[in-house]
Chains A and B, each alone.
Chain A
Amino acid sequence: MPEPVIIVGAAMGGLRTAESLRRAGYTGQLQLIGDEVHAPYNRPPLSKDVLSAGVSHEAVAFPSRAETADVEWMLGHSVTRANLNHRTVHTADGSEHAYRALVVATGLRPRRLDAEPGSNTHAVRSLDDAMALRDELVPAARVVVVGSGFLGCELAATATKLGCVVTVVTPSLEPMIRPLGEVLARQLRGRLEAEGVTFVLGATVAMVDGGVSVGEGTVIPADVIIEAIGSDCNSHWLAESGLDLSDGVLADNALRAVAVDGTTRDDVYVVGDIARFPNPMFDAVPRRVEHWNIPTDTGKRAGAVLAAYLAGDVESAAATPFAPMPSFWSNQFDIKLQAYGLPGLGDEARILEGDLHAEVAMGYFRDDRLVGVVGVGLKAALLPYRQRIAEFAAAQP
């Protein structure tokens, strides 16, 4: 019997890859190895409902489907290294697992600051992280959120709604400024401040005894410190693989892993947040995209190409261009943000329609082409702009 396909990383990207493999006709053995003990679940509620409504794994777990009923799950096992020449991966318990094809879906881990001994610091990536934080967010608790990206702002909003006294400290000049641009970011900061969140911008952040130092001798006292300063890729187990790990794991448009010498491997695929791949919707530059839709879109793509490889015809599947539409959304108090494309690629932001102080669609242009749109409040009105972003892609050579 041939060796199994092994998917390392048992979260959304790994699950979608497994489903896609089965749909595309692969009937052989399939193993998913993941370091979390939980079956795949949806992470966005972790910064919202899981903290505020106290929901459990059951409420956020993805439904299991008939086509993946015979998948072998190895949950609670971390993979420590891989040998791509021997086609093996090794788990922390010392065992070796041979594979026929490998899928890299190990995602990200939160970047952490050096904590003071005894300080109450948290990061939110996993369900267990959110469960551990939940009990700390009690009324009047002094919460400092370090970092002002979407996750930091969502956590600040949720903690404020739970009655905590929340300060966001950040080296940035505005929250969420990198994707949203200064104009919209400043406007949204005003709305968050009106809801009771305090911002310390342009701060030189350091952990100190009893709180967070923001520079010039100022310390914000904290009962709870939440770090939301971005993520690092879980690619350490591939350190000896010869793959290009300069930012995540490099892949071609078919999501086949690319080595440092530029060769692609038909038997190794990369999906999810860790995949750095070119998207012809924008250009030929490989990028990692940490948006929620990416694990699903890349999982489906990798599963389809890998199934074709296992059936002996990888090139025809790989030749079909893969141009997923990045999309994300964020809820903070009554603010409902939704975005399409890659706003952060734009060199200019313009209001497409609406009113900056109410509901608005902000367009992000690169060389006068629409590459991203962010809506505040608006939904159906965004769909024509989404179409414009996709059409631009279709016009690319």
Chain B
Amino acid sequence: MIKIDVDMFQCQHYGQCVFEAPNIFHLNDDDKLEYLAEADDSERLNVEAAVDVCPMQAIRIVE
């Protein structure tokens, strides 16, 4: 399992992460980011890609 943390103070809900890890990140109808705080190891590469593309650098994987 990996643990995912998004700094919701930093997050501006741009949704770039949604493309990289669609199973984890989602923009709801109010343009707000929703995400799963835990995911299977098979999602690690996708989540790392989401970390890379976040304009606000708000996402981290908690090791």
Instruction: Tell me the chain A residues, 183-207 only, with Cβ under 8 Å from chain B.
Output: none
Asked whether A383 lies within 8 Å of B18 as measured between CB atoms, the reply is yes
Asked whether A329 lies within 8 Å of B57 as measured between CB atoms, the reply is no
As a 0/1 sequence over residues 355 to 383 of chain A, the CB contacts with chain B under 8 angstroms (1 = contact) are: 00000000000000000000000111101
> What's the least CB distance linking A363 to chain B, in Å?
18
Which residues on A sit within 8 Å (CB–CB) of B51?
63
Dominant SS among interface residues on chain A: mixed
> What's the least CB distance linking A12 to chain B, in Å?
9
- A44 on interface, CB distance cutoff 8 Å: yes
Residue in contact with B57 in the complex, picked from A62, A331, A379, CB distance below 8 Å: A62
B contacts with A, residue count (CB < 8 A): 17
Asked whether B18 lies within 8 Å of A293 as measured between CB atoms, the reply is no
Compute how far the CA of A381 lies from the CA of B48 in the bound complex, rounded to whole angstroms. 25
- A88 on interface, CB distance cutoff 8 Å: no
Asked whether B27 lies within 8 Å of A296 as measured between CB atoms, the reply is no
Compute how far the CA of A331 lies from the CA of B27 in the bound complex, rounded to whole angstroms. 19
Asked whether B27 lies within 8 Å of A380 as measured between CB atoms, the reply is yes
- A150 on interface, CB distance cutoff 8 Å: no
Which residues on B sit within 8 Å (CB–CB) of A296?
52-53
Asked whether A336 lies within 8 Å of B12 as measured between CB atoms, the reply is yes
Closest to B26 in A: A380
**Given known contacts A16-B52, A296-B52, A380 and B57 CB-to-CB distance under 8 angstroms:** no
Asked whether B57 lies within 8 Å of A42 as measured between CB atoms, the reply is yes
Question: Chain A residues in contact with chain B, CB under 8 A?
Answer: 16, 42, 44, 60, 62-63, 65, 292-293, 296, 327, 329, 331, 336, 338, 378-381, 383
Can you list 20 pairs linking A and B with CB atoms under 8 Å apart? A16-B52, A42-B57, A60-B57, A62-B57, A63-B51, A293-B16, A293-B53, A296-B53, A327-B16, A329-B12, A336-B12, A338-B14, A378-B31, A379-B13, A379-B27, A380-B15, A380-B28, A380-B31, A381-B31, A383-B15
Which 4 pairs across A and B sit closest by C-beta, in order of nearness? A380-B27, A379-B31, A296-B52, A380-B31
